[in-house]
């Protein structure tokens, strides 16, 4: 069987209002959308505040510290374009700013990863335009 798989690394499909987030990651900053009217920290970024529909929104810089909420380490059966990365660990992490995001946990042995593990952001370059926020264990 001669199957041609799409091996292109997928880039985030952005919206106009999420561009500052990705500009931030390029500069090593993890930005969180913030509503000036109701004070909500918002993830993922929206066109209007999902709490109060305000357009009076801003960005705050996250401290970059988080805890693993849940995770799973992949060893097989991912898309061909991600095969070269195996094994890799995907996780939801809770940031100190009260938001939760999907990420990869890197720079450690996958078998050491556990729920509530303390992690910190590290930016992974996809290309000149996009850096993904990954997390690594906080060194004690």
Angle in degrees, CA 98, 103, 108, rounded to 5: 110
Q: Which of 23, 56, 48 is nearest to 130 (CA)?
A: 23
Contact residue for Zn ion among 38, 60, 70, 102 (CB under 5 A): 38
Interaction site with other proteins (CB under 8 A): 1, 3-6, 9-15, 18, 44, 69-80, 82, 85, 88, 90-92, 100-104, 110, 115, 126, 130, 132
Cβ closest to Zn ion, residue 58 vs residue 85: 58
Query: Is residue 97 at the binding interface for Zn ion, with CB under 5 A as the rule?
Result: no
CA 53 to chain centre: 24
Cβ closest to Zn ion, residue 40 vs residue 106: 40
Strand 31-35 and strand 57-61: pairing? antiparallel
What is the C-alpha separation between 131 and 103, in angstroms, rounded?
Answer: 12
What is the C-alpha separation between 28 and 23, in angstroms, rounded?
Answer: 9
If binding means CB under 5 A, how many residues of this protein chain bind Zn ion? 8
Cβ closest to other proteins, residue 13 vs residue 27: 13
User: Which of other proteins, Zn ion, none interacts with 88 (beta carbon under 5 to 8 A by kind)?
Assistant: other proteins
Cβ closest to other proteins, residue 34 vs residue 46: 46
């Amino acid at each position: 069987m001669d199957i041609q798989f799409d091996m292109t690394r997928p880039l985030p499909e952005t919206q106009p209002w999420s561009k500052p987030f990705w500009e931030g990651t390029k500069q090593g900053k993890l930005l969180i959308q913030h509503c000036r009217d109701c004070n909500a920290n918002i993830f993922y970024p929206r066109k209007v505040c999902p709490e109060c529909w305000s357009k009076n929104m801003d960005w705050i810089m996250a401290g970059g510290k988080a805890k693993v909420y849940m995770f799973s380490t992949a060893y097989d059966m991912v898309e061909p374009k991600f095969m070269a990365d195996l094994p890799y660990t995907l996780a939801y992490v809770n940031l100190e700013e009260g938001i939760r995001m999907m990420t990869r946990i890197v720079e450690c042995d996958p078998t050491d990863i556990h729920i509530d593990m303390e992690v910190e952001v590290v930016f992974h370059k996809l290309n000149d335009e996009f850096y993904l926020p990954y997390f690594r264990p906080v060194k004690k």
